[in-house]
Amino acid sequence: MPPTRGRPIALKLLILLLVPLLSLVGLWAFAAGLTGGDGLRLLSINDLATNLATPSEQVNIELQNERLVSVEFLVTGQGADAMAKQRGRTDRAVKTFRSLSGNLRDLSPEMTAQLNALNGKIDQLTDVRREVDGSVVAPLDVIDGYSQIVDASFRMYDAMVLVPDMALYQQARAVTMMGEAKDVLSRERALIAVVLAKGRVEPRERESFTGMVATRRLLFSQALSHLDGALRGPYERLAASPVYAEFLAAEDAIRSQAATGGLPAGAATWPIDGRNLWEAVERDQALAVQGIVQRVTPTAIGMLIKLGVAGGLGLLAVITSIMLSLRFRKRLVRELAGLRDAATELAEVRLAGLVKRLRTNTEPPTAAEVAPLEVKAHTSEVSDIVRAFNDVQSTAVEAAVSQARLRHGVSQVFVNLARRNQSLLHRQLLQLDSMERATEAPEVLADLFKLDHLTTRMRRHAESLIILSDQAPGRGWRNPVPILDVLRAAVAEVEEYERVEVLQPPQVALLGSAVTDVAHLIAELVENATLFSPPQTRVDVRSASTPHGVLVEVEDRGLGLPRVELDELNDRLTQMPEFDLAQSERLGLFVVSRLAARHGIKVTLAPSPYGGLTAMVALPASLLADQPALAGR
């Protein structure tokens, strides 16, 4: 059997043999470009550190200092000269940064995007300064304005440290996180100046300061856990120093300070504590950055050495694969082709035929139907697959036989129980009919009518079990029955028959052999309409003659169904699927589809103009009598 899609394995193996010879140079160039490019990129980081990272870090330091003096000027009104001098230092640092970064070429798209974003944020520095000079901005907004510029630089650092060596990347990322923690420390110092100027900690300042403290401590602890011993040492000593402990105490005091009371006596030392920690952090951060840069060159050289080793091993692997492929290509293709043909014949012919036979005949399968696969194979894996297919065949056959017997047994149980109930219910209906004729008391007669209606519904449910078991109900008519009587009989078998209105049908009759099944089919659709529509609404049953027979419509005023579910139900009504015990909630639809298929009736569900559903039942002309006739058993 030829393959239905894709390429045959023979062609793929042929390509496997030819491609290594033709693409060996390409593979070598690819490996060299991949590994060598990573190594050269590592070597270029020194240039990025000199012309980008170092000047931008200096800009950050000046911005952090300017943020502090700007906030102090804003809350105290003093220090205008110091602020002007600091702005000059910031402008010189920005000028140097833009001059050096403008000379860089061949930056990655990510680096270019982050560099442009940083320059855009730096351009907003003029607006922040103008607001500070006019004293029209809140101190917290000033802190946020400077922070946005610094944050943009850290996003640029993130793009810069995307190095191919994972160990180096983790250390560089941890150092960057330490830099972010250092910037959060600068924001805390500025906010401490605001608190000291106001003489109290207001709710907004406490909320902002609490977030800064949590962020700084989280960044510091996470970065410290990722740094190796050489880079972690200074930070560990700092974390254990009195300077760090004093600032932690100041942070906790500010977070817990109430707005209604004044600041504690120790508040005067908060700026000193912040400055002391700031100086220590600046020193340790400079050492960490220098240590990272010094590691780049050895790592790049090691990566270039790996290039030669990987290339040699790759060449050896290609030669080995060619030799093995030449030896086993024909054998493997022959064995797999035989396995494919045998498995296809098993799945599409033997098992399919067995399953089809078991639907009507539950006799055990013959030896020919369960014959094992026979494939000449010298490869152990192919032989294992053949044995696995034989095991699968045995299991599938056993399951199919068990399922067939189970379905047949369940069907027989349904039929036996339904026949017994049908007989009892028929006798009960006769008894009720005689009792109705013998009594004239209105109350007793009303109760008997209710029992008669319940018994009629019970008889329909019993007949549903018979229909699902592919058997015919015992009831039948010899003579044609007017379509009006058939519709009324169907409505009488529904619980809420008072809500159903049967409009005047055409003057046609239904063949006696189809009366029971058509009435049952209509009753199932009417009952669904009453169940899935509001109790105060009515259900209309209309019918009309067509060139091909009679069309009966059952229309409700419910909520309707989504189009996807409606299409699924229509497919089920058209294809008459096999009854599934797991889908008992759709029992009525299974009954309808069986009855429709039995008599060539077409049942379709469609949206109703009233918002519900319309069930359309097309009765073919072959079920209609030439002339209406009185009903008769």
Tell whether the model's pLDDT for residue 551 goes beyond 90.
Answer: yes
- The answer to whether the CB of 544 falls within 8 A of the CB of 551 is yes
Instruction: Determine contact, residues 506/545, Cβ cutoff 8 Å.
Output: yes
Q: Rounded distance, CA 417 to CA 427, Å?
A: 16
Radius of gyration of the chain from its Cα atoms, rounded to whole angstroms:
44
User: Residue 633's pLDDT is what?
Assistant: 43
Mean pLDDT to the nearest integer, 429-445: 70
**Cross-strand bridge partners of residue 615:** 554, 605
Element (DSSP H or E) covering residue 29: helix 9-48
- Give tens-digit pLDDT for 570-582: 888 887 655 555 4
How many CB atoms within 10 Å of residue 313? 11
For residue 137, which phi and psi values (nearest 5 degrees)?
-135, 150
Tell me the residue type at 15.
Answer: I
At 180, the amino acid letter reads E
Asked if the model's pLDDT at residue 89 lies above 90, the reply is: yes
Q: Is the pLDDT of residue 629 over 60?
A: no
What are the two backbone dihedrals, phi and then psi, of residue 198, each rounded to the nearest 5 degrees?
Answer: -80, -25
Least confident of 27-31, 44-48, 215-219: 27-31
Instruction: State the Cα–Cα distance between residues 52 and 108, nearest whole angstrom.
Output: 14
Angle at 419 between CA 416 and CA 420, to 5 degrees: 85
Nearest to 578 by CA among 461, 490, 424, 469: 469
| Average of per-residue pLDDT values in the chain | 77
Q: Please write the tens of the pLDDT for every residue from 131-171.
A: 888 887 888 888 888 889 888 888 887 777 655 567 777 88
Calculate mean pLDDT across residues 204-229.
88
CA dist., res. 245 & res. 252, Å (int): 11
DSSP H/E element including 365: none
Say whether pLDDT at 368 is over 70. Answer: no
pLDDT of amino acid 42: 53
| pLDDT value of position 314 | 63
243 pLDDT higher than 60: yes
Instruction: List C-alpha distances in Å: 496 to 484, 493, 538.
Output: 19, 9, 10
Q: Which of 575, 469, 591 is nearest to 524 (CA)?
A: 591
Which pair of structure tokens corresponds to residue 406?
Answer: 């189970």
> Quick one: which of 512, 457, 536, 531 has its CA closest to 490?
457
Helix (H) or strand (E) holding 602: strand 602-607
464 touches 591 (CB < 8 A): yes
What tokens does 108 get? 């990655």
Say if residue 584's pLDDT is above 80. Answer: no
Instruction: Give the type of residue at 236.
Output: E
β-bridge partners, 602: 618
Which among 185, 400, 148, 364 has a CA at the least distance from the CA of 273?
A: 185
Give the C-alpha separation, 161 to 294, whole Å.
Answer: 14
Running DSSP on this structure, what letter comes out for residue 547?
T
Model pLDDT, residue 530: 86
* C-beta separation of 336 from 305 below 8 A: no
Query: Which uninterrupted H or E stretch holds 399?
Result: helix 380-438
Angle at 484 between CA 478 and CA 489, to 5 degrees: 70
pTM of the model: 0.45
Sorted by sequence, the CB contacts under 8 Å of residue 381 that are 6+ apart come out as none
Lookup: tokens for 42: 């590592």
Residue with tokens 């560089």: 172
Q: What is the pLDDT of residues 461-503, one digit of tens each?
A: 656 666 666 656 656 677 888 989 889 888 887 878 888 899 9
Q: In terms of DSSP bridges, do strands 602-607 and 613-620 run parallel, antiparallel, or are they unpaired?
A: antiparallel
Cα–Cα distance for residue pair 47/50, rounded to 1 Å: 5
- What pLDDT band is residue 30 in, cutting at 50, 70 and 90? low
> Which 8-state DSSP code applies to residue 626?
S
What does the CA dihedral 575, 576, 577, 578 come to, rounded to 10 degrees? -150
Q: Which of 18-32, 102-116, 261-275, 420-434 has the lowest mean pLDDT?
A: 18-32
Task: Say if residue 288 is exposed, middle or buried (CB neighbours under 10 Å; 0-12, 13-18, 19+).
Answer: buried
Q: Supply the DSSP string of 122-187, one letter for each residue.
A: HHTHHHHHHHHHTT-S-HHHHHHHHHHHHHHHHHHHHHHT--S-HHHHHHHHHHHHHHHHHHHHHH
**CA torsion sign, 176 to 180 to 183 to 185?**
negative
Angle separating helix axes 54-76 and 125-133, nearest 10 degrees:
20
- Quote the DSSP letter at residue 481: E
Give the pLDDT band of residue 1 (cuts 50, 70, 90): very low
What is the per-residue pLDDT across 376-435, written as a single tens digit (0 to 9) for each? 766 777 777 777 777 777 777 767 667 666 665 565 565 555 555 555 656 666 766 677
What does the alpha-carbon distance between residue 624 and residue 300 come to, in Å, rounded to a whole number?
91
- Over the range 457-493, which residues count as b (16 or more CB within 10 Å of their CB) and which as e? bbbbebbbbbbbbebebeeebeebbbbbbbbbbbbbb
If one counts every other C-beta atom within 10 angstroms of the C-beta of residue 528, the result is: 21
